Structure 1
Amino acid sequence: MQTWKSPPPFLGKLWIWQYRQPKEGWRGWHVSADRAGAEAFITWINFLRSDDAAYRTLPLEVVSEPLLYGVGYNQACDQQFDKLRVAYSPDVSGLELVAQGNHLQLTIGATSCADLIACLERLARGEGDFVLYTTTTSGRLCWHFWWPPSA
């Protein structure tokens, strides 16, 4: 029987959303994080990979108008989610992200893990406005990474 281990505390802020009526180039998931949030998310991913933990749940920030205004698309987000349940599965090929009520379920595969960590490292360095494409069971999915709101 495996002993339950607590991950390091999740510090910082993380936002994930989709737009209600996106233009073709804005379809998919949009992600933003402040430096502490991006670094904490990387720590949690590495924790899940090394600990064989089933999953862990972390908080998501409310997608606000200042965040959407900073991105510059001027559209409302589709739905607010208050938490992200993250699981690591070496058998999954991409990043599977699905909405389940008020939370999101993210399954990270072995082949996409390094790509997601590289994107989070870029967010931690203050970069934004870049894309990660990943393959899912339902097809190709686009992840857009953005700067966090300044306010």
Structure 2
Amino acid sequence: MQSANAWKQSGRISIWRYTENERSYPGWHLNADRVGCQSLLTLLDALTADGTGSRSIAITAPTKAELGVPNNMRGQAAWVAPEKLRLTLSPVAEQWSFPPNLDPAAIEVGSTWLQALREGIAGIPEGRGDYAIGKGSLRLWFWWGGRA
């Protein structure tokens, strides 16, 4: 098992949040290609093995096709995406924090949330999605497909 410090990102990973119609789509939204999903899972495993820590992830803005999957306002809802995401494994088991900041975006999760996060990421390339984990407006939605 590699350490989180040795992890190298691969694949395409998109994260965004809507600035319109947030009531229907609160929080953050994640889509990634198969390689990107595997890369995120490898990072989660490495952070878990290390016991704590964080890493920055390069984010690619969502494509029109990706935005068409949730179809917020027929794909026309305004959105913002960070250039980087800081993923931190917290020593506090119940920790879940994913505020709306963009510079960089930052998610901090404790062990209680890891399995749900892993399942959500693993489900993306299998066509599973349209659900969120997390709390209130700090949710993380998972979306499948949309590659074009």
Regarding TM over 0.5, the answer is yes
> Judging changes above 3 Å, is the alpha-carbon distance between structure 1 residues 99 and 31 closer, same or farther for their aligned structure 2 residues?
same
Q: 2:78 aligns with which of 76, 79, 102?
A: 76
Q: Gapped runs of 5+ residues in structure 2? A: none
- Residue 32 of structure 1 aligns to a residue whose secondary structure is strand
Preserved CA contact (<8 Å) 1:55 1:86: yes
Q: Distance in 1 between matches of 2:62 and 2:5?
A: 27
State the partner residue of 1:130.
Answer: 131
Q: After TM superposition, where is structure 1 displaced by more than 4 Å over at least 4 residues in a row?
A: none
The offset of 1:5, in angstroms, is 6.0
Preserved CA contact (<8 Å) 1:71 1:147: no
Per-residue CA deviation, residues 68-107 of structure 1 (Å, 9 max, x unaligned), is 1233112121x22111111101305143113444321111
Preserved CA contact (<8 Å) 2:17 2:81: no
The offset of 1:116, in angstroms, is 0.4
- Residue 60 of structure 2 aligns to a residue whose secondary structure is coil
State the partner residue of 1:145.
Answer: 142
- Over the residues paired in the alignment, what is the CA RMSD in angstroms? 2.2
The offset of 1:51, in angstroms, is 1.4
State the partner residue of 1:116.
Answer: 117
The offset of 1:32, in angstroms, is 0.9
- Note if 1:34 corresponds to 2:33: yes
Structure 1 length-normalised TM? 0.81
Of 61-70 and 105-114, deviating more is: 61-70
Q: Distance in 2 between matches of 1:80 and 1:97?
A: 13
Q: Gapped runs of 5+ residues in structure 1? A: none
Structure 2 length-normalised TM? 0.83
- Greater share of residues in strand: 1
Preserved CA contact (<8 Å) 2:129 2:143: yes
Preserved CA contact (<8 Å) 1:80 1:102: no
Q: Identity across aligned pairs (percent)?
A: 24
Code of the residue aligned with 2:27 in structure 1: it is: G
State the partner residue of 2:62.
Answer: 63
Q: Distance in 1 between matches of 2:141 and 2:91?
A: 23
